Structure 1
């Protein structure tokens, strides 16, 4: 049963770590001050405001979420029916969802303000009042490319050729593990076990470019599989599928890599605990103690820049 608590439960994830390293004020908004902001009563308007801003979706984020969701649906449908959607079908579905987000953002603003978790609000429209035509054109062109590359990807070819020897894990599900006493959340796009090769395969779909964080984030996924199924690292292959270019990148991990991500986790948790006024309830320190970043370029695309200009 869902319970309303005054403070959020402390946990760790790679995305939470990245938020803190980019800007501790953003980290405060995201993981503390948005808490209970979804409630319509017995909550301060400030928390409701922060929560609304947390739900803003920029075009790159929205685009990635829609593509990931349609890929998940396509794989699930293939497993159930043996049929794979065409590029045209996937593009049409994606355009429909993008159009729905645009309509919500322009015609249903009041509904979004009341229920920001039920309606879309695009970040660009919220702050600029419009979508840049060049941005719209760019992402329309990307749609066909990402779905063509997905349907031609080595991952999908393996799934459709070897379903009998593969044990498919549920995609995009929240998974967690305990490291020391901290709950660690892991959200893998897709993974499966290949009986013929005795290998666990982890797939991470990317709709943008390559990032220096990719390898470390995927090391956490490999560690999760290693711990959950008690397998050797040599039995785990990890891939980034870069859908915009059609490139595929393989990662193999050693104990050194795992030690490195665990070291990052430990240092990150220590840093996060500096922002706890009470380690037992996870009550945060004062708002002013969450420092703003000194990197002004980070603020341009931040959901919370409206609030930071006020404080």
Structure 2
């Protein structure tokens, strides 16, 4: 039985993050979704693809911090649902701090291990490009750690989970969240959703470890569309929230059929734009790297994992 088939080109799919990558820089889109393909293999692959894949796996402090916080929040919710015991602030901070320290140790002491297996070891983008983390950055994220977990434990969402444990039906794990639109696989990375039997509503919650963004509403509209399609429910039965963990602010969204049409329109326009970079629409073979245009807005390059490949290191 073949568990994993090695293909010359990746399978075409769509996600909001893929769409945002293309709109920020087509060259980055090419590296991220095409030229890193098979770079995880240790043999029968060109060193170039291995290099692109390594750079793809770099994690900046904001991204790494967000991933670790999300992981511990998910674990805290699951632990509570299974045991009825809520995690303490100290437990959450200690676990997340340990993960951040592990990332720092990997990035400074296990560089060769990371080069060999970039999907098994951490490499922080700041350390890769600048050799160190500034003391101001470290201090800033130490302070954020307490804030985000404090606000999570006090959040209206977590309070509802602890108050209504028996009346909630939790949605499926994150790895299963995808749907087909026009025959294309669409990935939806939703933080948390559940069905509240008492209110007869589906609740979608997105935890944010950064500030508010203009993209937040579009992202949540896609989540609402997914829940509407998967559970065959009306939009009136769906409530959507952003929990901004740095400030403790909670924002509620209501969506209409117009919002759903808008997200489908975005998807269709985005897919058309992506198809311009396919040399073969059936195999998803990409056009040449030079045909993936570099952004003219150079501020995008400052935080880009691939900047050494464009000579903007």
TM-score band w.r.t. shorter chain = over 0.9
The answer to whether the 8 A contact 1:35-1:51 is kept is: yes
The answer to whether the 8 A contact 1:171-1:189 is kept is: no
1:9 matches 2:11: yes
The one-character-per-residue Cα deviations of 1:57-116 (angstroms, maximum 9, x if unpaired) are 000000000000000000000011011111111111111000000000000000000000
Computed over aligned residues only, the root mean square deviation of the Cα atoms, in angstroms, reads 1.0
What does 1:204-219 correspond to in 2, within 5 Å? 204-219=206-221
Aligned to 2:257: 255
**Pick aligned residue for 1:139 from 141, 145, 154:** 141
Determine the C-alpha separation between the residues in 2 that align with 1:173 and 1:202. Answer: 16
Partner-residue secondary structure (3-state), 1:19? helix
- List gaps (5 residues or longer) in structure 1: none
Determine the C-alpha separation between the residues in 2 that align with 1:226 and 1:98. Answer: 37
**Pick aligned residue for 1:55 from 38, 41, 57:** 57
Cα distance, 1:275 vs structure 2: 0.2
Partner-residue secondary structure (3-state), 1:157? helix
What does 1:62-211 correspond to in 2, within 5 Å? 62-211=64-213
Determine the C-alpha separation between the residues in 2 that align with 1:174 and 1:11. Answer: 15
Determine the C-alpha separation between the residues in 2 that align with 1:233 and 1:240. Answer: 17
Determine the C-alpha separation between the residues in 2 that align with 1:231 and 1:89. Answer: 38
What does 1:219-298 correspond to in 2, within 5 Å? 219-298=221-300
Determine the C-alpha separation between the residues in 2 that align with 1:45 and 1:11. Answer: 25
Aligned to 2:304: 302
TM-score of the two chains, using structure 2 as the length reference:
0.98
The one-character-per-residue Cα deviations of 1:196-226 (angstroms, maximum 9, x if unpaired) are 1000000000000001000001101100010
The answer to whether the 8 A contact 1:171-1:191 is kept is: no
Determine the C-alpha separation between the residues in 1 that align with 2:285 and 2:303. Answer: 28
The answer to whether the 8 A contact 1:204-1:239 is kept is: yes
TM-score of the two chains, using structure 1 as the length reference:
0.99
Cα distance, 1:171 vs structure 2: 4.5
* Distance change (3 Å), C-alpha of 1:174 and 1:294: farther
Determine the C-alpha separation between the residues in 1 that align with 2:118 and 2:7. Answer: 20
The list of structure 1 runs, each at least 4 consecutive aligned residues, that deviate by more than 4 angstroms after superposition, is none
Determine the C-alpha separation between the residues in 1 that align with 2:232 and 2:84. Answer: 32
Partner-residue secondary structure (3-state), 1:8? coil
Paired residue total: 311
